[in-house]
Amino acid sequence: MASIAVPRRSALAQALKGARHAAENKSSIWSWLGTVDHKRIGVLYGVSAFFFFIVGGGEALLLRTQLARPDGNVLDADQFNRLFTMHGTTMVFLVVMPMSAAFFNLMVPLLIGARDVAFPRLNAFSYWLFLCGAIFLNASFFTGDIFNGVLGAPDGGWFGYAPLNLNRYTPGHGMDFWMLGVQILGIASLAGGFNFIVTILNMRAPGMTLFRMPVFVWMTLVTSFLIIFAMPVIAVALFELMFDRLFNANFFNPDAGANPLLWQHMFWLFGHPEVYILILPAFGIISEILPTFARKPLFGYPFVVFSGIAIGFMSWGVWVHHMYTTGLGTIANSAFGISTVLIAIPTGVKIFNWMATLAGGSIRLKAPLMFAVGTVAMFTIGGLSGVTHSMVPSDYQQQDTYYIVAHFHYVLFGGAIFALFGGIYYWFPKFTGRFMNDPWGHVHFWLMFLGFNLTFFPMHISGLLGMPRRIYTYSGDMGWDMWNLISSVGAFTIALSVSIFMVNFIISLRRGERAGADPWDGRTLEWTIPSPPPDYNFRETPQVHSLDDFWHQKYAEDANGRVVPALGGGAVEPAAEHGHEETAHSLGIHMPSPSFMPLIASLGFPCIATGLIYDYALVPVGAALILVGLFGWAMEPATEEE
């Protein structure tokens, strides 16, 4: 709306303009608070998501300590309930989703040859709103008497089933924090989803047709569509819960004739696409890593892309497999059983394509590849156990046992988390100009691989032996002791491996081996520009001629069909010499100016949420903050005049 900006003469406007200029100084804190640079927002997302990974992991360690031995007394039942609720909610909404968003932000503009996303300020808004929602959700811990072990966190599970989520069954403010916090996080995801669809469809470099896009970009596109259609559904469910809890409405109240199953239908109509929102970005990452380290094109690129799209569509037709035991009847169960079996087909197609990509390749066993291969293997195990509970009678046996816990950790930890770590090792050189230490990367991988399997494989067995999920303790005569002890030992092994990763990350950041623009001999556009990339990414908009364009610039085939280096091909943009740094300004490139409006607008949301729980007086304050932020946003020019 730059075009409708009105002349601003007021002192406030001058002050804001001054603050925007202060934010141009890249080393000041203001530059981070006002940033609209997709790379910086990506870093903010990544650091925040990793922080919450530590928080959620710490919660898991407490749970595993309690369950290590029968009749454990580390936690009481109430603390246990609150911690597993927060562990699940944190890992889904505060770790895997924002870590994926970090990669969307860091990589999508670079991979499609763009200077930034379509809406840089909306992007900043999405991050700040995510952070506000995350802090708000975790603030619930402190609403109890935390120093005496009374936690105020939600205790309804990450799924918050009705009617248990109602006031009379779950009193206290924990569930209120949960429903409002997840609502805020959903709005943040929506903002990101819109932005990335427009960016991918509209901001591609000349020649970058849809079927020349890297698979990661494709998976970002599919994920973003899933986000914009799934998030409104959970938003409605959460609003309905809000009206029930805060204003005595009857959406889930059986006494008024309501059907509490409505909650489960809406939750899983969101929840199953959500599963693919969590895993498709990971599929995209490994589809970039595998070809690079096998030095081969991705096997069956169109099949991988179309399988991803097919998964996106089919993910809307399988939600009842979370509800087989709710008594919907044999016809519903059979229909959804069939659709669930069918969705395994496109997923299987991808797994075979990844394996065929490696087959016959000239493989370099670097840390990113270790994690990518680990993802394929672990996700396959999780996928196969998933097929076992697509079968209705089999699911009746497994429902609510540790077998299910084993399954979804194999797909979400073995699949998503492994791939995200692979992505960090892979793209670290691009953003820091240094490699992460590879031998320690291998130590991290093998320890995490060992710890992961020690933790979650025995859960298949304890589950089949009948151990239910979510129990806070068990007696020693059930035959579960050994399996639980192994799981707990495994959990601490994972913690050790993550500590090694953190040390490696920090040391490599300062003293890692220098990496040039193209350290892995890559195929995609991000490797054509200096590491770390300048603000404006590409000095000149690249022209794309084929899939894996950069590879084709570097290599050609000789008469015998062998790959040989192309003469003079694959020039990368030179890094500026020290003391002669080019800026966007000196190159005549107009980049969007920093803006504080997204931050101001996003602060209004937790303000309203707190007001709804404690004091309605805060609601108009929050609404005013949002209005000020949005109007300021609409009125300030996207690029400040010089």
Partner 1 sequence: MSHAATGHLETSTGIDNKKLLMWLFLASDCLFFGSFIAAYLLYRDRSLVGPYPEDLFDIPFTSVSAFVLLMSSVSMVLALSAIQRGNVRGLQIWLFATAALGALFIAGQAYEFTEFYHEGLRLDTNLFGTTFYVLTGFHGAHVTIGILILLSLFIVSLRGGIQQKDSLTIELAGLYWHFVDIVWIVIFTLIYLIQP
Binding stretches for partner 1 (CB under 8 A): 1-6, 115-116, 118-120, 190, 193-195, 197-198, 201-204, 208, 228-229, 231-233, 235-237, 239-240, 243, 247-251, 256-259, 262, 266, 589-592, 631, 634, 637-639
Q: What is the DSSP string of 225-239?
A: HHHHHHHHHHHHHHH
The minimum distance between CB 259 and partner 1, in angstroms, equals 7
CB of 245 or CB of 350, closer to partner 1: 245
CB of 161 or CB of 194, closer to partner 1: 194
Q: At CA 224, angle to CA 405 and CA 118, rounded to 5?
A: 145
Contact 141, 612 (CB under 8 A): no
Helix (H) or strand (E) run with residue 258 in it: none
The minimum distance between CB 433 and partner 1, in angstroms, equals 25
CB of 305 or CB of 367, closer to partner 1: 305
Contact 253, 163 (CB under 8 A): yes
CB of 251 or CB of 520, closer to partner 1: 251
Give 256's contacts (C-beta < 8 A, 6+ positions apart): 250
Closest CA to 106 of 296, 357, 284: 284
Tokens found for residue 321: 């497999």
Contact 305, 346 (CB under 8 A): no
The minimum distance between CB 538 and partner 1, in angstroms, equals 12
In 3-state terms, what secondary structure has residue 270? helix
The minimum distance between CB 168 and partner 1, in angstroms, equals 13
The minimum distance between CB 230 and partner 1, in angstroms, equals 8
Give 172's contacts (C-beta < 8 A, 6+ positions apart): 144, 152
CB of 255 or CB of 577, closer to partner 1: 255
In 3-state terms, what secondary structure has residue 43? helix
The minimum distance between CB 8 and partner 1, in angstroms, equals 12
CB of 570 or CB of 637, closer to partner 1: 637
Q: At CA 359, angle to CA 357 and CA 361, rounded to 5?
A: 80
CB of 201 or CB of 345, closer to partner 1: 201
Distance of CA 414 to the CA centre of its chain: 14
Q: Which residue's entry shows tokens 């077998």? A: 403
The minimum distance between CB 198 and partner 1, in angstroms, equals 5
389 burial level (CB within 10 Å; 0-12, 13-18, 19+): buried
The minimum distance between CB 145 and partner 1, in angstroms, equals 32
Closest CA to 402 of 329, 321, 487, 319: 487
CB of 242 or CB of 367, closer to partner 1: 242
The minimum distance between CB 619 and partner 1, in angstroms, equals 14
The minimum distance between CB 624 and partner 1, in angstroms, equals 13
Helix (H) or strand (E) run with residue 555 in it: strand 555-557
In 3-state terms, what secondary structure has residue 210? helix
CB of 189 or CB of 437, closer to partner 1: 189
34 burial level (CB within 10 Å; 0-12, 13-18, 19+): buried
CB of 221 or CB of 372, closer to partner 1: 221
